[in-house]
């Protein structure tokens, strides 16, 4: 029982970071119809930057915030590359994001090398239902909850967020009322960078990151986004949590090396089950 609780909580923490990365996919896809495959590498930049900044340059809190903001800038630059030129088809933009991901990975190797890096996180642990749980993992869950609540408030309450939602809902009508849909797309890329960076900053203390982490992160994040139909941040959160828990249970009771395969398998199952819904959403 204790073992199960530990796996569940660490799964929820890991799944939270998948959900953050996945919601970045959703935010960009809703507005631009582009799948941004550079999301994973941006998360790694977040984790590694926070490790550098927290190594005597900035105190806790400021270091993490600065790393997340930097990821927002990186996301914006990727957006400029992907959709900066007017009329770029989404498929071409997708390929540009793949290229950007490789560039970012090269930069990661150049700046931080190939070894995994882990910034200092919250030390210590607490006991929940008999299971020892790292405080850092609880921080990931709480911070993800706050991030999703802030995201929901941003989209539903702020004028800018409503502009983003309108651009996603009906780009023609958005242009008609004077919204610059391309700028909204760039804003979405920046926001996705912040979400990816936050995921990296939160996950890195418990799961050291290297450029090799890109594929598992991007696959898991994309699988969570697919669960949300690439349109719903809330369903993406749920999908991320399912993936995280399934991955941790697989690692705990079967074999740790099957985690990525589990994400892939779940993504395939979800895509097959939800294929009709995807078509309907595209038509809509």
Partner 1 sequence: MLRIDDLVVRYGSAVAVDGISFEVGAGEMVALVGPNGAGKSTLINAISGLVPLHSGTVACEGRIAQVPEGRQMFADMSVEDNLLLGGWSIRNRDVGEVYDLLPDLARMRKRKAGRLSGGQQQMVAVGRALMARPDLLAIDELSLGLAPLVVAELAEHLRILSRERGTAVLLVEQEVALAFDVCPRALVLEAGRIIAAGPSVELAQSETVRKAYFGDLAVAETMTGATAPATTEVST
Nearest approach, Cβ of residue 183 and partner 1 (Å) = 12
Q: Which stretch binds partner 1 (CB under 8 A): 1-9, 92-100, 161-169, 192-200?
A: 161-169
- 122 in contact with partner 1 (CB under 8 A): no
Among 56, 115, 176, 272, binds partner 1 (CB under 8 A): 176
| Site map (CB under 8 A) of partner 1, residues 67-86, x = contact | --------------------
- 87 in contact with partner 1 (CB under 8 A): no
Among 162, 216, 246, 264, binds partner 1 (CB under 8 A): 162
Three-class SS of 156-225: HHCHHHHHHHHHHHCHHHHHHCCCCHHHHHHHHHHHHHHHHHHHHHHHCCCCCECHHHHHHHHHHHHHHH
- 165 in contact with partner 1 (CB under 8 A): yes
- 174 in contact with partner 1 (CB under 8 A): yes
- 177 in contact with partner 1 (CB under 8 A): yes
DSSP H or E stretch at residue 134: strand 131-134
d(CA 10, CA 48): 21
Residue 137: closest CA among 10, 5, 8, 2 = 10
Among 92, 149, 173, 268, binds partner 1 (CB under 8 A): 173
Residue 83: closest CA among 97, 73, 69 = 97
Q: Return phi, psi of residue 139, to 5°.
A: -60, -40
Among 159, 257, 276, 283, binds partner 1 (CB under 8 A): 159
How many CA atoms, within 13 angstroms, populate the side-chain half-sphere of residue 229? 15
Among 118, 166, 246, 264, binds partner 1 (CB under 8 A): 166
Q: Are 226 and 267 in contact (CB under 8 A)?
A: yes
Nearest approach, Cβ of residue 149 and partner 1 (Å) = 20
# residues near partner 1 by CB under 8 A: 15
Q: Which residue has the tokens 């896809």?
A: 29
Nearest approach, Cβ of residue 156 and partner 1 (Å) = 9
Biggest CA-to-CA distance, the chain = 58
Contacting residues toward partner 1, per CB under 8 A: 159, 162-163, 165-166, 169-170, 172-179
């Amino acid at each position: 029982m204790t073992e199960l609780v530990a796996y569940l909580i660490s799964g929820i923490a890991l799944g939270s970071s998948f959900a953050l990365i996945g919601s970045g996919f959703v935010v960009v896809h809703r507005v631009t119809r582009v799948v941004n495959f550079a999301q994973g590498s941006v998360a790694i930049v977040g984790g590694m930057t926070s490790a550098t900044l927290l190594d005597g340059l900035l105190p806790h809190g400021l270091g993490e915030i600065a790393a997340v903001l930097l990821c927002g800038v990186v996301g914006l630059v990727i957006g400029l590359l992907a959709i900066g030129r007017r009329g770029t088809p989404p498929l071409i933009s997708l390929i540009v994001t793949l290229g950007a991901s490789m560039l970012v990975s090269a930069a990661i190797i150049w700046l931080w090398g190939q070894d995994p890096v882990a910034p200092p996180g919250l030390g210590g642990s607490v006991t929940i239902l008999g299971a020892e749980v790292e405080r850092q993992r609880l921080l990931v869950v709480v911070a993800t909850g706050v991030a999703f609540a802030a995201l929901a408030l941003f989209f539903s309450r702020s004028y800018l967020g409503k502009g983003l939602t309108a651009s996603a809902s009906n780009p023609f009508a958005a242009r008609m009322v004077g919204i610059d849909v391309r700028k909204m797309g760039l804003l979405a890329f920046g926001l996705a960078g912040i979400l990816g960076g936050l995921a990296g900053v939160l996950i890195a203390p418990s799961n050291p990151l290297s450029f090799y982490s890109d594929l598992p992160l991007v696959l898991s994040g994309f699988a969570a986004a697919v669960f949300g139909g690439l349109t719903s941040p809330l369903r993406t959160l749920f999908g991320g949590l399912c993936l995280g828990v399934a991955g941790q249970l697989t690692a705990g009771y079967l074999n740790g090396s099957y985690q990525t395969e589990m994400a892939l398998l779940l993504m395939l199952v979800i895509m097959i089950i939800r294929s009709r819904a995807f078509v309907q959403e595209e038509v809509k």
